[in-house]
Amino acid sequence: MHKRILALLAALVMMVAALPAMATELTDEQKIEQLANTVQVYIDSSEFTTFEYDSQKEQFAGLFELDSTLGECDVYIDIYYDMVAVNAVPSLRVPEEYRANVAVFINMANYREYYSYFRMDPETGYVYSRGMQLVENAFPTTDEIDVLLTMAVLTLDDYGNGLSKVAMGADPVETFNATVEEIKAKDAD
């Protein structure tokens, strides 16, 4: 019986020793390097040509074309020691008199979305969508980076027409409801 227990314990120790380094065992700089490498592998495998890495900012930056009236957005992938964040930022700047309406619109959109969400800087009126993943014990894979980037861009594109209308004075609730119907129709195709 003791031999079985010892054999089981030995097998468990060997399994644990074979696991890759966990995020909690690395320095902050090593975590950032690991995360940046994972994002770079994802970008290379996706053949994105517009992304560049700025090691000083610890940020990847690229450009995406959108189907909505927003036209295009800059995409920033920020690397932190404990998080990867993707921001899809259009050139849209909401005039001050319509920021409260846009806040209503994006609040309703955020309630409907799961993988990314909208933010607006109340001082400047810049609106963007964001996806992020905390890194506590394990690093995200390239598949998870893909979801972060894809959902931030798709969410911005899905709501882009409505967002533009509300930023020019349209009613936020009516526009949101119409936008949701457009999204549902597009998803049904």
The confidence band for 16, taking pLDDT boundaries of 50, 70 and 90, is: very low
**Structure confidence by residue, pLDDT tens digits, 61-111:** 999 999 999 999 999 999 999 999 999 999 999 999 999 999 999 999 999
Of 69, 63, 72, which Cα lies nearest the Cα of 182?
69
As a whole number of angstroms, the distance between CA 110 and CA 159 comes to: 11
Give the model's pLDDT for residue 22. 58
Of 177, 74, 158, which Cα lies nearest the Cα of 115?
158
71 SS3 class: coil
Answer whether 83's CB lies under 8 Å from 131's CB: no
Strand order across the beta sheet in which 52-54 lies: 52-54, 59-65, 72-80, 83-90, 127-134, 117-120
**Structure confidence by residue, pLDDT tens digits, 147-180:** 999 999 999 999 999 999 999 999 999 999 999 9
> Does the pLDDT at position 33 exceed 90?
yes
Delineate the domains of the chain, giving CATH numbers in brackets.
28-188 (3.30.1460.10)
Phi-psi bin for 83: left (phi > 0), alpha (psi -120 to 50), beta?
beta
For the beta carbon of residue 177, count every other beta carbon within 10 angstroms: 13
DSSP state of 122: T
Of 165, 186, 181, 187, which Cα lies nearest the Cα of 106?
165
- pTM (2 decimals)? 0.84
